Amino acid sequence: MDQVFMHRYEGEFLAGIAAKQLRIAVDRRSGAALGYHERAWCARDDANVAWKRASGRAVLLSYTVTRRPYSPDFPVPLVHGLVELEEGPQLVCRIVGTAPEAVTAGMALKASYDDKGLLFRRARNAARATHA
């Protein structure tokens, strides 16, 4: 059986998802959001890292549509996207509730959850988002 090794911060992130909360790591001193994939901050003293709830608002930076099934748990077409959270961190996630042909970069999104975890849907009353 394969083992999955996770960093302690991945466990914190995934615990938030299990609780249906999108959490981000922040630097206690500056208040700045720390990116999920920026591992330099992981080496810092834990006392300087805090976790807070993110707004769940995001903008779609890029996406891909998978049309070949790879798991019965994820029917096709399946849209995966790189999203940037309002607070700054970026992550890859599923985009649901919008036909693949209607998905566009710059689309405003809102975090949501299903039995498989985190996903994003088109934000209500917002066709396109803007970056600060």
Task: Find, among 100, 114, 107, 113, the residue nearest to 58 by Cα.
Answer: 107
**pTM reported for the whole predicted model:** 0.83
- pLDDT value of residue 122: 97
Cα(132)–Cα(87) distance, integer angstroms? 10
Domains and CATH numbers, the chain: 8-53 (no CATH), 57-122 (2.40.50)
pLDDT digits (tens, 9 = 90+) for 4-14: 666 677 888 88
pLDDT digits (tens, 9 = 90+) for 55-79: 999 999 999 999 999 899 889 999 9
Asked whether the predicted pLDDT for residue 53 surpasses 90, the reply is yes
Buried b (16+ CB within 10 A) or exposed e, 13-34: beebeeeebbbbbbeeeeeebb
Q: Mean pLDDT score of the chain, rounded to an integer?
A: 86
Task: Find, among 80, 84, 85, 83, the residue nearest to 63 by Cα.
Answer: 80
